[in-house]
Structure 1
Amino acid sequence: MTERPATYAQVFAVREYRYLFGAYLLSLLGDQLTAITVAYLVYTGTGSAALAAAAFGSSYLAWLTGGPLLSGLADRVPRRRLMIGCDLARALLIPLAALPDLGAPALVALLFVVNLLRPPFVAARAALMPEVLDGDRYPVANGVDNISAQIVQVVGFAAGGSLVAVLSLRGALLVDAATFLVSALLILVGVRARPVPTRPTGPGRLDSTTGLRVIFTDHRLRAYVLVLWLASAFTYAAEGLMAPLAVQYGGGPGTVGLLLAAAPLGMAVGGVAFTRFCPPDVRPRLVLPLAASSGTVLVVVWTSPPLWAVLALLVLAGAGSAFAIPLNALFGRAVPSEYRGRAFGVAITGLAGLQGLAILLAGLAADHWAPTTVIGVSGLLGAVAVLALVPLWPRRAPTTEVPGAPLEQPRTTSTAAEPSAEPAHQSTLG
């Protein structure tokens, strides 16, 4: 691997990545639009906030169930074909929500099925990326994806509400379906067909526990995943308290919006700084310090500082969460190609589960203590958790690594005895 950082122009010069990037944005936008539109349908049809929340939050449950069961398809089916199939299936299922007399439980179940198609899509794309991009272009592309995801998250929520307001519900659902159709077309046209990764022989190598075994029997993968899970969970817990936090400061919906936008803004700024101005060989050395800092800065919220200071601290926490960018590529390059889909599936499933659990626990705690106190304590626990993982962090890593190489392959080490240049907001992988 070259030690010179890749530029965005060099990343987008790769034709396959341009099409993958466009498909990624459209699929992500489609997921956001679908969640909002169906949640609105459920709420207007039933008046139940609980059912609407269940519809909107079904993506968490889909990852917890579909992640372990379906992400392995990315290692058993050609990845390009799998991505196209997932997009086409979502495009066909989403318009069903517009059928007359479809009850709220059926709508929630339909959205759950649609969300089940996201884990295999994400796992296939994550497994394909190291084969499309070489050298420093791979971690820089991860940074581009991560930054774009933050922007799409905000735009998707805003556009979803606008579509429901401007178009009929059926029209909004057709737009949702169209995003997946165009995504499938981009992958079909711009991504080269590749065969199924070579599978090692032997019993049990393709069962549902393979991803867990691959990760937790390798000291590097185990350290990468634990840092991602723990740092992200404790930092992400704050996002579930933005509404009560706004009330604590005497604000309304506008304040909630500002608070929710702060961390993604910080992540976007941190991602640009990481990928454009940080040398490749330095990025891995910053993973642990940034992961710890993403929680540490939130400890100050415990003191109930002015609102402008809280916003600044959330931005800093988001910037610290950019540690996921080099961590992503460290992980992706360390997993053999034939296991990559299942390994990413396990990593993202665990991430989604812990983030959802962190939000739930933070909400329960905020019923007894001030939101600022809960956020500060959560940040402190996150920083302590990351520091506790320091002894597990690999001290020697290859300066050159072939994507998909066996984990046992002998590797040369860098003179700095640190991981070489590799890398999702704190929630993204792949």
Structure 2
Amino acid sequence: MSGIAGNRDYRLLWTGQVVSEAGFSTTTIAFPLLVLALTGSAAQSGLVLGAVAISQLVAGLPAGALVDRWPRKRIMLGCEAVQAVAAGGLVLALYRGAAEVWMLVVVAVVMGLSRALFEPAEEASLPRLVAEEQVPSAVAMNAARTSAGQLSGTALGGFLFAVGRAVPFLFDVVAHVFAFVSLLFVRLPRRPERAEDRPPKHLGREIAEGLRWVWTRPPLRATVLCVVSLNLFFSAYYLVIIVLATERGVSSGEIGVMAAMLGAGGILGSLAAPYLHRRISAYGLVIGVFWALTVLTPLAVFVHNGYVMGALFAAVAFLPPAANTAIATYQLLSTPDGLRGRLGGVLGVTGGLAAAAGPALGGWLVEALPAVSAVLTCTGSIAVVTLATTFSRTLRGLPAAPRVRELEETSGQ
């Protein structure tokens, strides 16, 4: 990790984005509180929050194609600027007492569209921003940054809203301005220009080209399915465990500690991921994580104490970042620069769909089954995926990712 710590440009990007992530999470907590204060309607609160996720999912594939067309640093700067302006407009409306729900929906859509563009632009830029051997550390540190921003933003959101309705959104403005200024000083090497890439193609064909790139390469396809499985079953398991803890009389305070321990486990796992990546093969990390989850997840059936459950949460959350780092590093370094934006768009959409479907699956399980049975059903599903990954010839033979220069020299992109 020491190597990447000395990378000035990555450090600037990372610092700006941890603040930006905290601002986004603060706003996410403040949105439903503000809607409830304005209207008293829980349904409209859900509408505003849903607007962020839905707009990000809908825009995901086109955004990935645009990231491969446009200068990536300008995309990231534009996203931060637009979010600062949108949040600033809401602050002004609140100050004047003129805020309405439709304004919140507009701000939420702007946030979702901005994230749909920013995330693949940043991911696609990593192999040019850091040395090739630093890519695993950068991927892991970005995951830790997201977890840290979410934890701090979630804690800040309720507190700042209690100070004043506009305060969380004012903090979000400051966060995006800070991230914008940090990005101004990031020196992102220019992408190689190829004559065949200069005339823009039809956007639909570019999107199809990105989907085809992922689907027709078995290692990429297999790693995407691994990530989707992790997101789906982990988010379902989380909801099932919360219901199980509530049924067993665990207090809301202890449940809050459980959630914090889950976040802390994810951060520690992200910090450990580069170390594990250097010592264990990608296949070993993937199957190791799935087997560990298969063993750990059913232990919740025997736990009745919230703090012990939190420790189990932390252990479970500690594991996935290592597999995700190995997978994301392979995906980035085995994809030509001209397709990395579309790769990010595909990954963002599939991951987002899995993350959205997971809680719905968990909710259905706890409605249809006793909580203990729901836990065991989640475990059984993870075990099926574990066996599939263990005996997958594609994953077992996962090749080392080609070096970036070699890939660009041999690729027709």
TM-score, normalised by the number of residues in structure 2: 0.88
Given that 1:140 and 1:275 are in contact with CA atoms closer than 8 Å, whether structure 2 keeps it comes out as yes
Determine the structure 1 residue equivalent to 2:312: 313
For 1:387, the equivalent position in structure 2 comes to: 387
> Which residues of structure 2 form unaligned runs of 5+?
none
Give me the whole-angstrom Cα distance separating, in 1, the residues matched to 2:182 and 2:65: 23
Q: Deviations over 1:379-411 (max 9, x none)?
A: 3202312422423315051375226825976xx
Deviation at 1:190, TM superposition (A): 2.2
2:148 aligned with 1:155, yes or no?
Answer: no
What are the equivalent positions in structure 2 for 1:170-185 lying under 5 Å apart?
170-185=166-181
Q: Which residue of 2 aligns with 1:227?
A: 226
CA contact (8 A) 2:64 2:120 kept: yes
Aligned residues: CA RMSD: 2.6
Superposition pairs of residues 24-39 of structure 1, within 5 angstroms: 24-39=17-32
Question: What is the identity, as a one-letter code, of the residue corresponding to 1:253?
Answer: S
Q: Which moved more, 1:46-55 or 1:86-95?
A: 46-55
Q: 2:53 maps to what in 1?
A: 60
> Where does residue 358 of structure 1 map in the other structure?
358
Paired residue type of 2:331: F
Distance 1:318 1:34, change over 3 A: same
Whole-angstrom CA distance in 1 between matches of 2:366 and 2:182: 45
Deviation at 1:243, TM superposition (A): 4.3
Distance (whole Å) between structure 2 residues aligned to residue 210 and residue 387 of structure 1: 31
1:214 aligns to what?
A: 213
2:25–2:154 CA contact under 8 A, matched in 1: yes
Amino acid corresponding to residue 225 of structure 1 in structure 2: V
Q: Deviations over 1:308-328 (max 9, x none)?
A: 443333222212212112211
Query: In 2, Cα distance between the equivalents of 1:199 and 1:300?
Result: 57
Alignment-mate amino acid for residue 393 of structure 2: P
Q: Hey, what does 1:4 align to over in structure 2?
A: none
In structure 2, give the amino acid aligned to 1:146. A
Report what 1:335 is aligned to.
Answer: 335
Q: Which residue of 2 aligns with 1:373?
A: 373
SS of the equivalent of 1:91 reads helix
Contact 1:302 1:375 (8 Å CA) reproduced: yes
Whole-Å separation in 1 of the counterparts to 2:409 and 2:234:
31
The equivalent of 1:253 in structure 2 is: 252
For the 8 Å contact 1:34–1:176, the answer to whether it is kept is yes
CA distance in structure 1 between the aligned counterparts of 2:366 and 2:113, rounded to whole angstroms = 31
What's 1:72 paired with?
Answer: 65
Check conservation: 1:68, 1:346, Cα contact below 8 A: yes
Q: Secondary structure at the match of 2:99?
A: coil
Task: Kindly report which structure 2 residues correspond to 1:77-156, keeping only aligned pairs within 5 A, or say none.
Answer: 77-98=70-91, 99=93, 100-156=97-153
SS of equivalent to 2:290:
helix
Distance of 2:320 and 2:409 partners within structure 1: 27
Could you tell me which runs of 5 or more consecutive residues in structure 1 were left unpaired when the two chains were aligned.
Answer: 1-7, 410-430
Give, in angstroms, the shift of residue 72 of structure 1. 2.0
Q: Is the 8 A contact 1:20 1:191 kept in 2?
A: no
Q: C-alpha distance in 1, partners of 2:74/2:129?
A: 16
8 Å Cα contact 2:20-2:172 kept in structure 1:
no
Alpha-carbon distance change, 303 to 401 in structure 1, aligned in 2, over 3 angstroms: same
Relative to structure 1, is the Cα distance of residues 289 and 324 closer, same or farther in structure 2, using a 3 angstrom cutoff? same
Distance in 1 separating the partners of 2:135 and 2:10: 10
**Residue in 2 aligned with 1:427?**
none
Displacement of 1:112 after TM fit? 2.2
Q: CA deviation at 1:353?
A: 0.8
- 1:199-249 deviation per Cα after TM superposition (whole angstroms, max 9, x unaligned): 755966853223211111111111111111112211121233454233112
- The one-letter code of the counterpart of 1:165 is A
When structure 1 is superposed on structure 2, of 320-329 and 369-378 the one drifting more is: 369-378
Alignment-derived partner of residue 46 in structure 1: 39
Using the size of structure 1 for normalisation, the TM-score is 0.85
- Residue 402 and residue 195 in structure 1: after superposition, are their counterparts in 2 closer, same or farther (change >3 A)? closer
Partner AA of 1:369 in structure 2 = L
Q: SS at 1:405's partner residue?
A: helix
Letter in 2 for 1:371: A
SS for the counterpart of 1:398 is: coil
Listed as ranges, the matches of 1:264-343 within 5 Å are 264-276=263-275, 279-280=278-279, 282=281, 284-303=283-302, 306-322=305-321, 323-343=323-343
Q: Provide closer, same or farther for how the CA distance between residues 160 and 307 of structure 1 changes in structure 2, counting only shifts above 3 A.
A: closer
CA deviation vs aligned residue, 1:122-158 (integer Å, no higher than 9, x gap): 1100000011112331101211221232222111100
**Does the aligned pair in 1 maintain the 2:82–2:110 contact within 8 Å?**
no
| SS of corresponding position for 2:162 | helix
More helix by share: 2
SS at match of 2:407: coil
* Distance (whole Å) between structure 2 residues aligned to residue 204 and residue 104 of structure 1: 36
Match for 2:100: what amino acid?
G
Q: Which residue of 2 aligns with 1:413?
A: none
How much identity, in percent, do the aligned residues show? 22
Confirm or deny: 8 A CA contact 1:71 1:342 kept in the other structure: yes
Per-residue deviation, 1:60: 2.4
- Deviation larger for 182-191 or 283-292: 283-292
Q: What letter is aligned with 2:178?
A: V
* SS of match in other structure, 2:316: helix
Q: CA distance change for structure 1 residues 83 and 399 in 2, over 3 Å: closer, same or farther?
A: closer
Aligned partners of 1:407 and 1:229: how far apart in 2? 31
